[in-house]
């Protein structure tokens, strides 16, 4: 898109980039993030999983049939915010044109036990 540089994300709720949002009784937060641009075939999922593991976030990431990448992050609010911020630029070869962040309700955990997985 013209006028959009790498890392710019239009349509993102800036509050979702911070630590606020629904927090469960156990102190965790969950968000779903969908990114578009040049995000498939550039090690986006693998790098995302490494970043999420380093941040201590649970959840998953997958390629979508429409060419976007979707992820769910759950963990400490600061760690979830860190992952949302990372999704705005992704790995070096990626070009992120847009990021959509949706807060998910405080329900049961997104994954059984700690960890982050790459879905096919």
Q: How far apart are CA 20 and CA 27, in angstroms?
A: 12
Active site residue 68: no
Residues 88/96, Cβ–Cβ less than 8 Å: yes
Residues 116/59, Cβ–Cβ less than 8 Å: yes
Residues 30/67, Cβ–Cβ less than 8 Å: no
Q: Which of 30, 45, 68, 88 is catalytic?
A: 45
Active site residue 45: yes
Query: Counting Cβ atoms within 10 Å, is residue 39 exposed (0-12), middle (13-18) or buried (19+)?
Result: buried
- Provide CB contacts within 8 A for 2, sequence distance 6+: none
Q: Which of 24, 63, 76, 95 is catalytic?
A: 63
Task: List, by residue number, the catalytic residues.
Answer: 45, 63
């Amino acid at each position: 898109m013209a006028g959009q540089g790498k890392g710019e994300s239009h349509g993102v709720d800036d509050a979702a980039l911070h630590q606020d949002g629904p927090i469960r009784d156990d102190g965790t937060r969950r968000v779903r993030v969908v990114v578009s641009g040049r995000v498939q075939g550039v090690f986006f999922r693998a790098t995302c999983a490494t970043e999420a593991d380093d941040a201590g976030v649970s959840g998953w990431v997958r390629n979508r049939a429409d060419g976007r990448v979707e992820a769910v992050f759950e963990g400490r609010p600061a760690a979830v915010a860190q992952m949302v911020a990372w999704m705005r630029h992704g790995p070096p070869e990626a070009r992120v044109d847009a990021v959509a962040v949706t807060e998910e309700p405080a329900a049961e955990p997104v994954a059984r036990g700690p960890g982050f997985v790459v879905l096919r």
